[in-house]
Amino acid sequence: MINAEDLVGRHVLKVTTSWHHHQDTKPSLLHMWLHMDGLGPVRFHTPGDGLSLEIDQPHGPYDMDEYGHTTVEDDLPGFPMTRFVGQRILSVREIRYQHGNYDFAIGINVQFPGGTIRILNLADEIVLAHDRHLGPVEAHLHESTTPTIQDTSP
């Protein structure tokens, strides 16, 4: 595993996604890889609570019998992360879910020169929130007030 801080100062070279397709339902995002200069492909995964980042090569498509199949796409047009290809990550901030006795890391806010995007684990699903309100859960999401680390290079 790697820390989100390891992404700061690096450029996104490509975005790879894997999608679960099942019968007539809308495909759901299984994994996302950000191909980073100096690191290679970084897989974003949702193992229970939190967000896991690890250097890992994208898998290929595969069949899941009666449970559907997966497809794998590179730089999918319209995918929220694709707009950041070629940009350097300026900072990351941890996002925590806080409600009553619950307090745990649920994702990160990633800042690029061209904007920011939240990458979250909501109910074991990768959710990308760019200029998007997520409904009632928003009241429980708390972003760190200072960047975990910030890129100061020109």
Instruction: Evaluate if pTM is beyond 0.85.
Output: yes
Cβ proximity of 115 and 130 under 8 Å: yes
Contact between 66 and 76 under an 8 Å Cβ cutoff? The reply is no
- Nearest Cα neighbor of 110 from 94, 92, 95 is 92
Walk along the chain (154 residues) and give the pLDDT tens digit of each residue: 899 999 999 999 999 999 999 988 899 999 999 999 999 999 999 987 788 999 999 999 999 999 999 999 999 999 999 999 999 999 999 988 888 888 888 899 999 999 999 999 988 889 998 766 666 776 677 777 655 556 666 5
Question: What gap in Å lies between CA 102 and CA 100, rounded to an integer?
Answer: 5
Please name the residue that has the structure tokens 């350097």.
88
Residue 77, SS3 per DSSP = coil
pLDDT confidence of residue 18: 96
Strands 149-150 and 52-55: unpaired
Count of C-beta atoms within a 10 Å radius of residue 153: 7
Helix ranges (H only) for 31-70 are: none
